[in-house]
Structure 1
Amino acid sequence: MRIAFICTEKLPSPAIKGGAIQLLIDGIAPFFAEKRSLTIFSITDPSLPIYEIRDGIEYVRVPKEQYEQHIANELNKRTFDVIHVFNRPANVLRYKQAAPNSRFVTSLHNDMFSPMKMKRDVAERVVAEVDLITTVSAYMKRTVTKRYNVPDDNIQVVYSGVDATRYMPPWTDEGKQMRNDMRRRFLAEDDDVILFIGRLSETKGVHVLIESMNHVLAHHPKAKLIIVGGKWFSDNRPNEYVRFLHRLAKPYKDRIQFTNYIPSEHIPHVFTIGDVFVCSSQWHEPLARVHYEAMAAGVPIITTNRGGNSEVIEHHKNGLVIDDYASPKAFACAINELLHDKEKALALAYEGRKRAETAFSFANTAEQLERLYITICQ
């Protein structure tokens, strides 16, 4: 079976500049390369060749400008059994013209079928033409099936995954050593570290998390919020919201620390500094992949009941889920609970790690996708 993965036009593959889709592809690609022919299409990057074969995987990179047309031209030159279009369902229509004999899968990592992103007649054509739609959460599946008549067999939830072997839980010898080293590097040796990792955008709710610190510090004076990320995956240039966050954090002095963007390969080490990890999403998050990473790292998780987040984080089982997502006090109560009750925090972390190793491994994601590819080719 010859398989093609088509990335979005935002970031290159492999995930040298991060990106949830690119990280997912990096994780599942080796499993397909073991027994299938795999080609990955993405945008060019100055640090990557236009064409290469790496670890048995063919990479084809085209300019970001007129990306869709460039990809269609490349598809004309090759033959694939399955073409998987990541998070750009509307592009399927052009790609199918270029490869009419291929089976097409499109995966939804955001609400790309929203009327604000795709006209209804285009969406209906995509639903009719595509062989399979996968979604990163049941929530995302519902956003499609509420609007369009999609046969149940033609839309499947496929959760993302993580390579748990890259993460060092704090109860392991390696994790303890890395934790000590990283906490020295971040000047947080004696602190209770609350960790945020993600893009600095209003939808991610970093401002609410900063506002919660007044209530946290009243109970835990050694608490320190470390905010990892930039306005975009590899872009640390400030914008209005980032400047607002720095103004909001200024009164807290060294109790709030911004690191800017940290490359994805270093993130497993960064997780070791955390006593609590918080996903403060304010929007209907499709399902942030950082949850998988925090579970693998063995850090107790606090998240919001927005979108698909609560599908992988169960309240009081492998994390805490906040309903009152816009309330700084709600975040502070959850943070204080886990900083106070270390035994409970550790139990949540253990369960999260177990689920990362079993239910949410990249191997599971790849196996599920392969079964679906085989089914649509029969």
Structure 2
Amino acid sequence: MNLAFICTEKLPAPAVKGGAIQLMLDGISPYFSQKYSVTIYSITDPLLPAENTENGISYIRFPRSSFHEETAHNLKEKSFTHIHVFNRPNEIWRYKQASPDSKLILSLHNDMFSTRKLKPNQALTAIQDCDAITTVSEYIKRTVTVRYPEAEEKTHVVYSGVDFSKFYPSGSPEGIKIKDLWRNKYGLQNKKVILFIGRLSRTKGPHLLIRAMEEVIKEHPDAVLVIVGGKWFSENGINEYVQYLYDESESLKKHILFTKYIPSEEIPNVLLMGDMLVCSSQWHEPLARIHYEAMAAGLPIITTDRGGNSEVIIDEMNGYVIKEYDQPKAFAAHISDLLTSTALSAALGKNGRLYAEMNFSFLKTAEKLEQIYLNA
């Protein structure tokens, strides 16, 4: 198998600036490179050369402004058996023309078949031109197949995963050492730490957690909400919403900490600072990969019943799913429960780690994709 992965035109690969697609590729491509020829196309970045080979994986990068055109032109010079395109159904026709004999696989990490993004005739053409479609959650699968039943037979759910060698469970000796180190770094010794990790956008809902803290600290005056992230992946600039978060937290200075952007390779360590992770998504989240990472770190998770998030969190097994997703008091109640019962919190975290090990390794993701490629 001669395999090409084509990223979107937003972030480079490897994941030097984060990104769920790029992180997944970093995780699965070593598996494929041991058995097959692997090429990854992504946009250029000052941190990376235009072309290089690393660990048996070839990387080819083109400018964002002409990424799809140049990638398609380059494909004509290659002989890929399989071309795996991420999140760009509107570009499938281009890659079909460039390499008509290749099997085309389309992966969806978002609702890319929305009528706001794709006209029905474009959608049907993309479905017809694909040999297989994969989605990161059952929710995202439904966004395709409910609109276009023609896609049902060729659409498969493939959950993402993590590299467990990079995650120490929170209660392990190594995890405890890292926890102490990072808590000392941020002055969080002897604190109860609630983590939010994600982009600072209204759709992610961190403002609701700030409001929830007003209730939490009444029962747990030593609690601190640590908000990890920037306004856009690796960007730490201030926009109207970020300024709003700062203003909202002003009266709770001792209980709210903004770390700004932290590189993805440090997230396994950052997670160990926390007593829990809270995902406060307000939009129909495809399925935020931070759920996998928090489970790998052995943290209990509080998430919202929005999009695909609840597919990997089983209520009272590895966390809680909040149906009143826009109510700060609902978050406050579950946060307080976990802070009050350390035994419950530890049990949910341990269950999450075991559940993730069984279901959400990059190896399992790669093996499922391999079967899809071979059967396409």
Normalization by structure 2: what TM-score? 0.99
SS of residue paired to 2:251: helix
Q: What's the offset of the Cα at 1:164?
A: 1.5
Amino acid at match of 1:129: D
**Match in the other structure for 2:351:** 351
Measured after TM superposition, the shift of residue 194 of structure 1 is: 0.3
- Could you tell me whether the CA contact under 8 Å between 1:164 and 1:356 is conserved in 2? no
Shift of 1:254: 2.0
| TM-aligned CA deviation for residue 304 of structure 1 | 0.3
In structure 2, the residue matched to 1:231 is: 231
In structure 1, C-alpha distance between the alignment counterparts of 2:48 and 2:253, rounded to whole Å: 40
Could you say which residue in structure 1 is the equivalent of 2:373?
373
Secondary structure in structure 2 of the residue aligned to 1:224? strand
What does residue 340 of structure 1 align with?
Answer: 340
Tell me what 1:80 maps to.
80
Q: Note the C-alpha offset of 1:276.
A: 1.2
1:75-117 deviations in Å (ceiling 9; x for gaps): 1111101100011111111111000100000011000000011
1:151: Cα distance to partner?
A: 4.4
Cα deviation code 1:235-294 (max 9, x no counterpart)? 001110000000001110121010110001111110110001100000101100000000
Report the residue type matching 2:167 in the other structure: Y
Pairing of 1:174-323 with structure 2 (within 5 A): 174-323=174-323
Q: Which moved more, 1:348-357 or 1:142-151?
A: 142-151
Unaligned segments of structure 1, at least 5 residues: none
Counterpart CA distance in 2 for 1:366 and 1:157 is 13
DSSP-derived class of the 2:110 partner:
coil
Partners of 2:181 and 2:257 in 1: how far apart?
17
Q: How does 1:31-42 map to 2 (within 5 A)?
A: 31-42=31-42
Partners of 2:227 and 2:256 within 8 A in 1: yes
Give 1:62's aligned residue: 62
Deviations 1:335-370 (A, max 9, x none): 001001111111110011012212000000000000
Cα distance in 2, alignment partners of residues 234 and 20 from structure 1: 13
Query: Helix, strand or coil: the match of 2:65?
Result: coil
Q: What is the number of equivalent residue pairs in this alignment?
A: 376
RMSD across aligned C-alpha pairs, in angstroms?
Answer: 0.7
- Provide the C-alpha distance between the structure 1 equivalents of 2:156 and 2:231, rounded to a whole number of angstroms: 32
Q: 1:66 to 1:212 in 2, by over 3 A?
A: same
* Shift of residue 193, structure 1, vs aligned partner: 0.2
2:107 is matched with which residue? 107
Taking the aligned partners of 2:356 and 2:164, their CA distance within structure 1 comes to 6
Distance 2:74 2:213 in 1: 51
| d(CA) in 2 for partners of 1:77, 1:249 | 55
Deviations along 1:24-79, one digit per CA (max 9) or x if unpaired, are 00000000001011000000011111111100000000110121101111111111
Task: For 1:309, give the aligned amino acid.
Answer: N
- Matches of 2:10 and 2:94 in 1, distance apart? 19
Distance (Å, rounded) in 1 between the aligned partners of 2:174 and 2:214: 34
Is contact 1:82–1:102 with CA below 8 Å preserved after alignment?
A: yes
Query: What is the distance in 2 between the residues matched to 1:335 and 1:150?
Result: 43
Q: CA deviation at 1:174?
A: 0.5
Aligned to 1:46: 46
After superposing the two structures, state which structure 1 stretch, 161-170 or 209-218, moved more.
Answer: 161-170
Secondary structure at the counterpart of residue 284 of structure 1: coil
Match of 2:147 in 1: 147
Residue aligning to 1:26: 26
Q: For 1:33 and 1:153, how far apart are their aligned partners in 2?
A: 28
TM-score scaled by length of structure 1: 0.99
CA distance in 2, matches of 1:330, 1:170: 25
Are 2:144 and 2:151, in contact at CA under 8 Å, matched by a contact in 1?
Answer: no
Match of 1:362 in 2: 362
8 Å contact from structure 1 (residues 162, 296) kept in 2: yes
- 2:10 is aligned to 10
> Which structure 1 residue ranges, 4+ long, deviate > 4 Å from structure 2?
none
CA deviations 1:114-154 (Å, max 9, x no partner) are: 00111111001111111111000001111111111224330
